[in-house]
A = this chain, B = another copy of it.
Amino acid sequence: MAEQKKMVEAITSMEVDFAKWYTDVVKKAQLVDYSSIKGCTIVQPYGTAIWENFRDLLDKRLKKCGHENVMMPMFIPENLLQKEKDHVEGFAPEVAWVTHGGNEKLTERLCVRPTSETLFCEHYQKVINSYRDLPKLYNQWCSVVRWEKTTRPFLRTTEFWWQEGHTMHETAEDAITETKNILDIYADICEQDLAIPVIKGKKTDKEKFAGAEATYTIEAMMHDGKALQSGTSHYFGDGFSKAFDITFTGRDNKPHNPFQTSWGMSTRIIGAIIMTHGDNDGLVLPPAVAPTQVIVIPVAQHKPGVIEKATEITEKINNFCRAKIDISDNQPGWKFAEYEMKGVPLRLEIGPKDIEKNQCVIVRRDNREKYFVSLDNLEEEIPKLLETVRQGLYNKALENRERRTFVAHNFEEMIKLGQEQDGFIKSMWCGDLECEMKIKNEAGLTSRCMPYEQETISDVCPVCGKPAKHMVIWGKAY
Interface stretch (choices A121-129, A208-216, A437-445): A121-129
Interface stretch (choices A72-80, A199-207, A307-315, A343-351): A72-80
Contact partner of A159 among B68, B74, B80, B138, CB < 8 A?
B74
Which residues in B have their C-beta under 8 angstroms from that of A336? Answer: none
Are A75 and B43 in contact (CB-based, < 8 A)? no
Chain A residues 205 to 229 lying within 8 A of chain B, measured CB to CB, are none
Q: Which residue of B lies closest to A101 (CB)?
A: B147
Main SS of chain A's interface residues?
A: mixed
A173 within 8 Å of B (CB atoms): no
Are B130 and A112 in contact (CB-based, < 8 A)? no
CB within 8 Å for A33 and B123 given contacts A45-B70, A75-B159: yes
A76 to B96, CA, bound (A): 13
Which residues in B have their C-beta under 8 angstroms from that of A367? Answer: none
Interface stretch (choices A46-54, A235-243, A387-395): A46-54
CB within 8 Å for A102 and B95 given contacts A41-B73, A123-B33: yes
Residue interface bits A113-134, CB-to-B below 8 A is 1, else 0: 0000001001100110010100
Residue interface bits A138-163, CB-to-B below 8 A is 1, else 0: 10001101010000000000110100
Contact partner of A112 among B112, B127, B147, CB < 8 A?
B112
Are B37 and A51 in contact (CB-based, < 8 A)? no
CB within 8 Å for A100 and B102 given contacts A69-B49, A110-B37: no
Are A43 and B71 in contact (CB-based, < 8 A)? yes
Which residues in B have their C-beta under 8 angstroms from that of A43? Answer: 70-71
Which residues in B have their C-beta under 8 angstroms from that of A98? Answer: 96-99, 112
Which residues in B have their C-beta under 8 angstroms from that of A44? Answer: 70
Nearest chain B CB to A198's CB is how many angstroms away?
Answer: 25
Are A49 and B68 in contact (CB-based, < 8 A)? yes
CB within 8 Å for A97 and B99 given contacts A74-B74, A127-B33: yes
Nearest chain B CB to A92's CB is how many angstroms away?
Answer: 8
Contact partner of A72 among B42, B49, B96, CB < 8 A?
B42
Which residues in B have their C-beta under 8 angstroms from that of A45? Answer: 68-70, 138
Nearest chain B CB to A202's CB is how many angstroms away?
Answer: 29
A304 within 8 Å of B (CB atoms): no
A29 within 8 Å of B (CB atoms): no
Are A40 and B70 in contact (CB-based, < 8 A)? no
A319 within 8 Å of B (CB atoms): no
A3 within 8 Å of B (CB atoms): yes
Q: Which residue of B lies closest to A126 (CB)?
A: B33
CB within 8 Å for A35 and B68 given contacts A93-B103, A99-B99: no
A253 within 8 Å of B (CB atoms): no
Interface band, chain A: 35 or more
Which residues in B have their C-beta under 8 angstroms from that of A33? Answer: 123, 126-127
A85 to B122, CA, bound (A): 40
Nearest chain B CB to A58's CB is how many angstroms away?
Answer: 14
Which residues in B have their C-beta under 8 angstroms from that of A37? Answer: 73, 75, 77, 110
CB within 8 Å for A42 and B70 given contacts A100-B97, A147-B102: yes
A102 to B146, CA, bound (A): 8
Can you pick out 23 interface pairs between chain A and chain B where the beta carbons lie within 8 Å of each other?
A33-B127, A35-B72, A35-B119, A35-B123, A36-B80, A36-B122, A37-B73, A41-B73, A42-B71, A42-B73, A43-B70, A44-B70, A45-B68, A48-B69, A48-B70, A74-B112, A75-B96, A94-B102, A96-B98, A96-B110, A97-B100, A98-B99, A102-B147
Question: 8 closest A-B pairs (Cβ-Cβ)?
Answer: A45-B68, A40-B73, A101-B147, A43-B71, A97-B100, A102-B147, A99-B99, A48-B69
| Chain A residues at the B interface, C-beta cutoff of 8 Å | 3, 33, 35-37, 40-45, 47-49, 51-52, 68-75, 77, 80, 93-103, 110, 112, 119, 122-123, 126-127, 130, 132, 138, 142-143, 145, 147, 158-159, 161
**New A-B pairs, 6, CB < 8 Å, besides A99-B99, A112-B112:** A35-B72, A42-B71, A42-B119, A45-B138, A52-B69, A75-B96
